[in-house]
Chains A and B, each alone.
Chain A
Amino acid sequence: MTNYIFVDGLVKVYSGGVVALDDVSFSIDSGGIVGLVGPNGAGKTTLVKILATLIKPTRGRVEVLGFDVNSGYENVRKRISLVPQDACPELYLTPYEHVYWYLRSRGLPKGDAVRLAGESLEKVGLWDVRDRVCAKLSGGMRQRVLIASALAVPADIYFLDEPTVGLDPLARRGVWSVLREVSKNSLIFLTTHYMEEAEVLSDLLIMINRGRIIEMGNPLELLRKVKYRYKVVLEKFADISQIDVSFIETDEGKTIYVESDAELSKLLGFLVDRGLSFTVKSTSLEDLFIMRVKGCGDK
């Protein structure tokens, strides 16, 4: 069986010597949803751009649907579809015109383009505004126009680079259900900043940082790698100098990871004695991600 994606020793160095990807290797041989997560500047978009044949790799072997992205890019382009990051639709077109004429530009016959455009707009919830020009739509709706355009294409792989940025929670969940449906017959390669999104959607999750893969696997398998069961979050300026624990600074505040119930009970006792306020949470994939990025918490 042909791999959907095969990457071996991929390196991308931009002009100026910036190393965006450094010895990246992975293989995806079945459909579903692959989530690619990482902090800003981790190399997510660069990886998508290489896989979607927008830019060339500096070194390494990259094959998409069995075709080398350098020599066989025309074959790749026939069978993929892309939602670029931070893209903007053609503002003077209506959603229907956008999807329909994008499909026609890909060579689809009129009948297919009419049917697919209608279905896609219906799926992403834009059918009711199909005849309103994009300029008059909200930012979230414009984003959905791009998603509808890309997902209307009959493709083997859909690359979506942060597709749900700017969508409200309801619209985001609507897109999730569309992606799940589309992924039944194809591969969706999705980058996202939202760990919840990646966790909920992905059949396979790839975590990337500073151009290198730091974790890869099924979300449940990855969750098992988190050796800590709980995290105790204190305010940013809480004074815990008298407690002998290590912590990391996160957006939430000072975060202490705890392995067992006994350890948690002991720690909470200390905190209560000192009158510190805190919240206790179960650890999630986001914690694994933070630990890996910050270089701590290996099992």
Chain B
Amino acid sequence: MAINRVIGATVFMTRSYLKEPLAFVSDLIIPLIMFMIVHIGTGRGVESLIGILIVIAWSSGSFALARKLGSYKAWRLMDMFIASPLKPIEFAIAAALAHLIIIVLPATIVTVIMILISSINPASLILLIASIIVAWITGITFGLYVYSKLADPFKISSTANLLNLLLIILPPVIYPISILPPSIQLISILLPTVSLKLVALHLVGISTGIGIPIFIPTIIVIVYATFFTISAIKQRIFVE
């Protein structure tokens, strides 16, 4: 049964994280410091928290997945899964689910802070969760794309760190895009993480604070999601 295989592989990959339930704390420190600076400096703390949720979802889908696949490949543990009835797509789903499980706690903490400092309504929360899932799925397909493009598994971690900096820390994901000059705003929305945040802001009814129509980041998100999904499907992550 495919579902049994996926559950088995998911638990196999999740248990190591579950044994360190507070491991995410270090990952949350920098985003939360950025949130406090933004909140105190600009008053756009909710936007910052939504950005952090996008970051958590995107990272768990992309970098964590790429790192996991990369480490399993480097340890050759991946070979044991390849030489088994577990199908490549099942393995990828399991890896992605394993990382979804581990973001529940940090995402909950961020959401609770958001509820405490804003008057966000339940309908907006549902739309926000939908945005997070879109960010997670886009992140997964991006992670598979990164993994499949790197032949050397030992380079995956360093590449993931670089992409983390370029897609999450530097661009206006956690801090407001409105503080950037218009020309930089235009460039930055070409990044999937920034567009995802703008779409999420729109869905929960928070102004992006810039003059760019929302259909542009929406189209950008759709294009990225489509491109990475097609690429991920085409990549043969299991056979050289």
Contacts and interface: CB of A to CB of B under 8 A. Distances in A.
Contacts of B94: 105
Interface in A46-74: 49, 52-56, 73-74
B12 interface: yes
A101 B79 contact: no
Nearest to A110: B4
Contacts of A91: 16
A87 B85 contact: no
A89 B83 contact: no
A287 to B, nearest CB: 33
A133 B18 CA distance: 13
A166 B47 CA distance: 54
Contact of B19 (A83, A92, A159): A92
Interface string A95-119: 0011001111111110000000000
Could you say which interface size class chain A belongs to?
Answer: 35 or more
B76 A90 contact: no
Contacts of B39: none
Given A53-B239, A90-B16, A105 B5 contact: yes
A229 interface: no
Interface of A: 49, 52-56, 73-74, 77-78, 80-93, 97-98, 101-109, 133, 146, 149-150, 153, 159
8 contacts: A52-B83, A56-B239, A77-B83, A101-B11, A104-B4, A105-B5, A106-B85, A149-B80
Given A53-B82, A90-B13, A106-B5, 13 more contacts: A53-B83, A55-B240, A56-B239, A56-B240, A77-B84, A90-B77, A101-B8, A101-B12, A104-B4, A105-B81, A106-B86, A107-B85, A153-B84
Interface of B: 1-2, 4-5, 7-9, 11-13, 15-16, 19-20, 75-77, 79-87, 94, 239-240
